[in-house]
Structure 1
Amino acid sequence: MSTVDPRAIVAAAREGGYAVGGFNMHNPETTQALIRAAELAEAPVFLQIGRAIVPHLGLAEAYRMVRHELDRSGTRVPIHLDHGTYEEVFEAIRLGFDSIMFDGSHLDFEENIAATRHVVTVAHSFGIPVEAELGSIPDAAESIDWSQHYTKVEEAERFVAETGVDFLAISAGVMHGVTGAEPQPLDIERVRQIRDATDVPLVLHGASGVPVDQLQAAIAAGVHKLNADTDLRHAFRRGIEATWATGDRQFEDAMAEGRRLMIDATVEKMREYGSAGRASALSAAEPVLVAS
């Protein structure tokens, strides 16, 4: 199966001074919403299979679902493994994922280097780029000790040099999920320092709830892939709840309204990230062949 090379997508974002969105799907309707948003916004996107859907469907079934929806649409965008375990990475390579993220951030630093290096060696032999994480992204909470989570510049420099990762996900004040508290300002200077020390495109997970001006400052500082899920999932939920609030309705009616609101929310993200209207520049790019 061929697709636009994920490296080319991120390289174009780096060159153009914008970020490409990495968004997770949870069922066929949310998958359709992300694909339709990419078509409407004419934007590149990473369709991400992540930690919520894998226990629910299994990695292989989730991949087949996304592959089916992409083939139906004719859209050419990467299917990306998000926060993959060591075992899932190799299953994803066998299945034909276009891009993978190995999350060894829970490991000791030396163990993370060793495991990531091996993942990179195997994935690169199949032409598949690797995203890895250094530092940690906390779950949403009202009070967080950020000193325990931030990515250290000197560790990032060594990590990239010794593993050969293509993209580095860093911790600079983001969290998984959102809270009602005032969001933590991103550590933009840390982002710049990591960019200069590593010279690879950086990724921020947990972009939901982060003010647009902060995200745009992060893009200017070296972040060229932004992952967001919670904001889009909440948009889908609003559609379901609004439909059922009108009285007894078919489940499909609620799902359709959720899909519609998620499309709108995703298009808005693409505009905020600067990726809207950028897909045409990638359409002529040479495809990369990956295992199927």
Structure 2
Amino acid sequence: MRDPQPLRWVEAARSGGYALGGFNMHNDETTQALLQAAEKADAPIFMQVGRAIIPHMGVKKAFELTVRNARETDALYAIHLDHGTWDEVLEAVRLGFDSIMFDAAHLPFEENIALTRRVVELCHDYGIPVEAELGKIPDVGAPVEWASYYTDVHEAERFVAETGVDLLAISAGVVHGVIPGLEQEPLAVDLIDRIRAVVPVPLVLHGISGVPDAEIKEAVAHGVHKMNGDTDLRHAFRAGLEDAWSQGDLQLEEVLDAGRVRMIDATVAKFEAMGSAGTATALKAAVR
């Protein structure tokens, strides 16, 4: 079941003390895995059209891919543009996306404010909530001086006030990607607390792959109510493929199914860690 008003999920998550999952699809099988996992876990899901699939097939085809596969499940879902550019935002609004994340965090602070405010004004005219990012999230394995990457508390307060965004993604120790065996920076929970104290909108963490479940739960307890992940789930899909291929010359369809099954299990585990498993049924009642 598609919900064009996912912002109410986030408010429910704030009230209920859990976080929502936003995950990226890459093809039919990974799209099916995410939707089937959401149905299995009874968890709402942000189906994210992100930075990998857009160069591969474009915003429109990724949107259509999601809608087509979602017809075959009873999952509660919303279609979300992840790290969108201005041109992609325009296309997503025309297509009818349910939620948009505009990313100008790489630009100077004042320019980020101005462009994000413009996106918010456009999207709010169509009733579409906007997520934006402040701070920098490094790629895994890169040398990092965290003081220059963390979201600044005072900038966060001003950014939200002047842009009108509905959700704020912050940098608090997360990274993009996972290197097996490489220990990641622990989440800066004290920073999450300080940002939450001055920012009235829900907080988001990107890059939760590789973050231990205990830290995910701690971040939720300190005010994060949407979390994005991709790498852990792709690794699970890949492991399913490799395990199937190791058994001999199987049909491609059998191999893809093995990847899908493994990714379903990994996604259900994320919902459980975030605390959103078992929450979709009550939210669906408000959609009908």
Q: SS of the counterpart of 2:71?
A: helix
Quote the offset at 1:143 in angstroms: 3.1
Aligned counterpart, 1:131: 131
Q: What letter corresponds to residue 260 of structure 2 in structure 1?
A: R
1:147-162 aligned within 5 A: 147-162=147-162
Alpha carbons of structure 1 residues 142 and 201: separation in structure 2 relative to 1, 3 Å: same
Q: 8 Å contact 1:49–1:82 — kept in the other structure?
A: yes
1:265: how far off? Answer: 0.5
Give the letter aligned to residue 12 of structure 1: A
Please give the TM-score of this superposition, normalised by the length of structure 1. 0.96
Distance 1:74 1:40, change over 3 A: closer
Q: Shift of residue 182 of structure 1? A: 1.6
Partner SS for 1:3: coil
Query: 1:10: how far off?
Result: 0.7
Corresponding letter in the other structure for 2:163: T
Confirm whether residue 242 of structure 1 aligns to residue 261 of structure 2.
no
| Equivalent position SS for 1:90 | helix
Tell me, in whole angstroms, the C-alpha distance in 2 between the residues paired with 1:12 and 1:115: 29
Instruction: Give ranges in structure 1 of 5+ residues lacking alignment.
Output: 288-292
Q: Does 1:274 align with 2:279?
A: no
Q: 1:193-272, aligned counterparts within 5 Å?
A: 193-272=194-273
Which segment drifts farther, 235-244 or 178-187?
Answer: 178-187
Matched, 1:84 2:105: no
Q: RMSD value over aligned CA atoms?
A: 1.3
Which amino acid is the alignment partner of residue 127 of structure 1? G
- Cα distance in 2 for partners of 1:138, 1:2 equals 33
- Distance in 2 (CA, whole Å) between partners of 1:96 and 1:62 is 13
Q: 1:75 and 1:215 mapped to 2: Cα distance?
A: 23
After TM superposition, give the deviation of residue 53 of structure 1 in Å: 0.4
Following TM superposition, by how much is the alpha carbon of 1:226 offset from its aligned partner in structure 2, in angstroms?
A: 0.7
Unaligned runs of 5+ in 2: none
Q: Which residue is equivalent to 2:94?
A: 94
Cα separation, 2, equivalents of 1:30 and 1:119: 29
Q: Residues of 1 paired with 2:95 and 2:207: CA distance?
A: 27
Please state how far the C-alpha of 1:142 moved relative to its aligned partner.
5.4
What CA distance in whole angstroms lies between the structure 2 residues aligned with 1:137 and 1:49? 19
Percent identity, please: 59
Contact 2:206–2:229 (CA under 8 A) maintained in structure 1 = yes
After superposition, the C-alpha distances for 1:81-116 in whole angstroms (9 at most, x for unaligned) are: 011111111110101110000001011100000000
| Aligned positions of 1:165-176 closer than 5 A | 165-176=165-176
With a CA cutoff of 8 Å and minimum separation of 6, indicate the structure with the bigger relative contact order: 1
Distance 1:41 1:245, change over 3 A: same
Tell me the TM-score normalised to structure 2 length: 0.97
Q: Deviations over 1:2-51 (max 9, x none)?
A: 62521111111111000011010000100000110011100111111100
Q: Number of aligned pairs?
A: 287
Question: Distance between the aligned counterparts of 2:190 and 2:175, measured in 1?
Answer: 18
Q: Runs ≥4 in structure 1, deviation > 4 angstroms? A: none
- The answer to which of 143-152 and 68-77 deviates more is 68-77
